[in-house]
Structure 1
Amino acid sequence: MRRGAVFSTALCLLCGTALAHTEQSATGGLMSGLLHPVQGLDHLLAMVAVGIWGAFLGAPLVWALPVVFPLLMVIGAVLGIAGVPVASVEAGIAISVVLLGSVILTGWRAPVAAALALVAVFGVLHGHAHGTELPEAASPAAYSAGFVIATGLLHVAGIALGRLDCLPRGRALLRGTGAAMALAGTWMLARVWS
């Protein structure tokens, strides 16, 4: 009996507020934005992959890619918040995971302009999805700040993972990671198209 009461109390403490009470504050928007990129596997993988690829490519792309992606993501978010349609956003996001995983797998040393262009397009697509998924009661500015901060942290995590390349089996590990990302993206794309 006592265990049941403890368990019930613990569950109540872990439960969120009632759905009728939406987050009205900037803090709620910031938290929603911070959580959004890590709650979707597609966003998480793409953002980490940008960091890994940047680390593999080295200067100046190790820092340029993680700056360009969130900048263009903000532009995409503004388009999404404004209701400007962008064709095939979900398919484009899945393709971003496939292609970013593939460039890690193959070790493609893209020219600077090509790498920046690819990441810029993907940034717009991911940002548009964030903008259209803006919680109704969230502050758009706070939400945007949150997802940009989370994106930056995921890029830094990817850069740290990309540094494994220096270890004896690091390159093989990273290529395997790229393969897993590409397969996950292919699965996501199949789900979008089904």
Structure 2
Amino acid sequence: MSKITRIAAVSAAIALAATPALAHPGHLAGAGFLDGAAHPLGGLDHLIAMVTVGVYGATIGGRAVLAVPGAFLAAMLAGGLFALTGGELPLVEPTIYASTVVLALLCVMPMSRNSLIGGVFAAGFGLFHGFAHWAEMPADAAALGYAAGFLASTAGLHAAGVAIGYAIHRLIGRPEEEGRTA
């Protein structure tokens, strides 16, 4: 089995394990930093997408290791602020679900190994994830603490994804061997 086939099989299995909206069952009143940090960890859809952002950054390599997760985090904050101001986004849950599949596919597609493409996809999906986090925030939550919690947790998931991405590439080879462009 080729390296790309193995990566595609693992990515597909992870993406298919995701179910939509698992991070949104409701929250405790008075939510703060710890509740915000737990939010991305409570749903397989968010967990997979956020780890995969880190894997994708590691797959591209170079500046993308920080730029792709950074774009996701910045857009997630923007999406959250948009939700906080009463803004509306269509198809939030389907887009979050799609993010798990699309991000996994981007990890294995040689033409997607470009920092700009990575940043655009990460930011687009980050906007929807951030909107969902803030839209689901309890009304009496400490908004600043809650937001800091889910941003910190997300950054940690991205870092775990980068580590996983590096481990995968150490085991099966670097993307450069498959025709990477950056």
Shared fold (TM-score greater than 0.5)? yes
Q: Indicate how the Cα distance of structure 1 residues 108 and 49 shifts in structure 2: closer, same or farther if over 3 A, else same.
A: farther
**When you count helix as a share of all residues, which structure comes out higher?**
1
Write the distance in 2 (CA, Å) between the matches of 1:111 and 1:169.
20
Letter in 2 for 1:43: H
| SS in structure 1 of the partner of residue 32 of structure 2 | helix
Could you report, residue by residue, the CA deviation over 1:112-161 in whole angstroms, capped at 9, with x for unpaired residues?
22211111111100000001000122111111100000000000000000
Secondary structure of the residue aligned to 1:100 is helix
Name the amino acid aligned to 2:125: F
Distance 1:150 1:86 in 2: 23
Q: 2:121 aligns with which of 102, 111, 118?
A: 118
User: Does the CA contact (< 8 Å) of 1:37 and 1:147 recur in 2?
Assistant: yes
| Aligned residue number for residue 83 of structure 1 | 86
User: Offset of 1:111 from its aligned partner?
Assistant: 2.5
Gaps of 5+ in 2: 1-27, 175-182
- Partner residue of 1:139? 142
Tell me if 1:59 matches 2:66. Answer: no
Q: Per the alignment, do residues 114 and 169 of structure 1 end up closer, same or farther by CA in structure 2, a change over 3 Å counting?
A: closer
Is the contact between residue 49 and residue 103 of structure 2 (CA under 8 Å) also seen in structure 1? Answer: yes
CA RMSD in angstroms, aligned pairs only: 1.7
**Residues 166 and 86 (structure 1 numbering): CA distance in 2 closer, same or farther, change over 3 Å?**
closer
Aligned match of 2:168 in 156, 165, 170?
165
Q: Aligned letter for 2:135?
A: T
User: Given the alignment, which residue of 41, 46, 51 partners 2:44?
Assistant: 41
Cα pair distance change 1:35/1:110, threshold 3 Å: same
Counterpart of 2:149, as a letter, is G
CA shift for structure 1 position 169: 4.1
Aligned to 1:192: none
Q: Hey, what's the Cα distance between the residues in 2 that align with 1:49 and 1:57? A: 12
- TM-score w.r.t. the length of structure 2 is 0.75
TM-score by length of 1: 0.71
Residue 101 of structure 1 and its aligned partner are, at CA, apart by 1.1
Determine which of 101, 104, 121 is the counterpart of 2:104. Answer: 101
Percent of aligned positions that are identical: 36
Larger Rg: 1
Asked if structure 1 preserves the Cα contact closer than 8 Å seen for 2:41 and 2:47, the reply is yes
| Distance apart, 1:170 and its partner CA | 6.8
Deviation of the 1:105 alpha carbon: 3.5
Q: Deviations over 1:164-189 (max 9, x none)?
A: 13434477xxxxxxxxxxxxxxxxxx
Deviation at 1:104, TM superposition (A): 2.0
Residue 48 of structure 1 contacts residue 157 of structure 1 at CA under 8 Å; is this kept in 2? yes
Aligned match of 1:22 in 12, 22, 29? 29
Query: Closer, same or farther in 2 for the Cα pair 1:22/1:162, shift >3 Å?
Result: same
Alignment length (residue pairs): 147
Query: Which secondary structure state, in structure 2, belongs to the residue aligned with residue 161 of structure 1?
Result: helix
